[in-house]
């Protein structure tokens, strides 16, 4: 039976996000603005990125410490060559009961079947607007929203369980809230509205750009009848609602207006093997050096346990109370 470790606030560790690359085929304003992540941006050299064998070894050790869920992130994880091979390895790990992947969806039409056959059946797909011109502006690469929507349709045909994530910014794409809700309600796909967060240091965040869950709920309630849904498990991030008379759901991720630090059960591994205990962390703990210096599994597990036991992250609580300002790791590096 797997062990269970908890931090100083009695938050268990059972959800692991693993970034398999720091690269992306978008330059969206939220996590990789073009003025920072231009064509000459120095991404990680290949030898600094964890190998599939190293990722598999870490995943097994985390599973032995109580992790049940793994989500692959980036950057854009579908850019990682041979990804289905890694998925096959991870789905066979004893104790892992939930395997997911976060993607911008651009490569799904080409890769979805191979991913599904490898054992991946759950996707979180980022889409911030249906409007073609707005979406091209947001992603900074002129990529069409139709490309993402075609990927979503392909994934639906194959039987993936899909959630679509929309980061909402006031005065930028908030007018897309109703069209997005209508479109995905009709498809029976869960849509989650994410408050614009101050992840990293380069997305130009300030509170005036945030449209809160309360404001989004009021907009949606003026067009639809929606009712709350109970959380499915401890630590579930989204506050869930259902369209009345339908099984289609929507959700809100409220890191800014209604923090959920007290129930956070997630750890993150960056593409170069650093362990981060918070999305808003400034510094990580280097596990790659342990993987490559001959350390035993027990030594690495002890290090992970020590890091988690000392965890005291409460950034969103502190932001709401004290407006902290600190250097934070970029989302493209740590994953969402």
99 is annotated as contributing to ligand binding: no
Q: Which of 126, 213, 226, 197 is nearest to 166 (CA)?
A: 126
Q: Is 335 annotated as a binding residue?
A: no
80 marked among binding-site residues: no
Q: Are 70 and 59 in contact (CB under 8 A)?
A: yes
Is 266 marked within a binding site? yes
d(CA 158, CA 130): 22
3 state SS for 188-213? CCEEEEEECCCCCCCCCCCHHHECCH
**From edge to edge, which strands make up the β-sheet containing 285-286?**
226-228, 239-243, 249-253, 190-195, 161-168, 122-126, 98-103, 69-73, 15-19, 266-269, 274-276, 285-286
Burial class of residue 140 in the structure, from the number of CB atoms within 10 Å of its CB (0-12 exposed, 13-18 middle, 19+ buried): middle
246 is in an annotated binding site: no
The conformation of residue 6, written as its DSSP 8-state character, comes to B
Backbone angles phi, psi at 73, to 5 degrees: -135, -170
Nearest to 197 by CA among 24, 36, 315, 38: 315
| Cβ 94 vs Cβ 64: under 8 Å | no
90 secondary structure, DSSP code: H
Question: Known binder of ligand: residue 28?
Answer: yes
Q: Is 156 annotated as a binding residue?
A: no
Distance CA 173, CA 130 (A): 10
Residue 122 tokens, joined: 């759950």
Q: Is 288 annotated among the ligand-binding residues? A: no
* Rg from Cα positions in the chain: 19
Q: Is the peptide bond before 290 cis (omega within 30 degrees of 0)?
A: no
To the question of whether residue 276 is assigned a binding role by annotation, the answer is: no
Residues of the binding site: 17, 24, 28, 30-31, 71, 75, 102, 126, 163, 197, 261, 264, 266-268, 278
Question: Which residue ranges are tagged as binding site for S-adenosyl-L-methionine?
Answer: 30, 75, 126, 197
Annotated binding-site ranges for GTP: 17, 71, 102, 163, 266-268
Q: Residues at the annotated binding site for [4Fe-4S] cluster?
A: 24, 28, 31, 261, 264, 278
């Amino acid at each position: 039976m797997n062990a269970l470790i908890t931090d100083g606030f009695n938050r268990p560790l059972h959800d692991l996000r693993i970034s398999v690359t720091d690269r992306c085929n978008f330059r969206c304003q939220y996590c990789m603005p073009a003025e920072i992540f231009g064509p000459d941006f120095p991404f990680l050299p290949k030898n600094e990125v964890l190998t599939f064998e190293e990722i598999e070894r870490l995943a097994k050790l985390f599973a032995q410490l109580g992790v049940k869920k793994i989500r692959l992130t980036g950057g854009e994880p579908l850019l990682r060559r041979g990804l289905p091979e890694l998925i096959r390895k991870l789905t066979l790990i004893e104790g892992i009961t939930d395997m997911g992947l976060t993607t911008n969806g651009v490569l799904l039409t080409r890769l979805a079947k191979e991913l599904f056959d490898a054992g991946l059946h759950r996707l979180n797909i980022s889409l911030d607007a249906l409007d073609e011109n707005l979406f091209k502006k947001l992603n900074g690469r002129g990529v069409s929203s139709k490309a993402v929507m075609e990927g979503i349709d392909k994934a639906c045909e194959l039987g993936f369980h899909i959630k679509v994530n929309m980061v909402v910014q006031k005065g930028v794409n908030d007018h897309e809230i109703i069209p997005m809700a209508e479109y995905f309600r009709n498809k029976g796909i869960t849509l989650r509205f994410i408050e614009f967060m101050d992840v990293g240091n380069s997305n130009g965040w300030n509170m005036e750009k945030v449209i809160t869950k309360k404001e989004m709920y009021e907009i949606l309630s003026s067009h639809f009848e929606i009712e709350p849904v109970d959380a499915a498990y401890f630590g579930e991030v989204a506050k869930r609602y259902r369209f009345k008379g339908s099984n289609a759901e929507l959700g809100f991720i409220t890191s800014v207006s209604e923090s959920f630090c007290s129930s956070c059960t997630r750890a993150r591994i960056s593409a170069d093997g650093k362990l981060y205990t918070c999305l808003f962390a400034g510094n990580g703990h280097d596990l790659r050096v342990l993987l490559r210096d001959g350390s035993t599994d027990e030594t690495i597990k002890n290090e992970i346990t020590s890091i988690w036991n000392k965890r005291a992250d409460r950034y969103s609580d502190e932001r709401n109370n004290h407006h902290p300002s600190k250097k934070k790791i970029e989302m493209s590096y740590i994953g969402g």
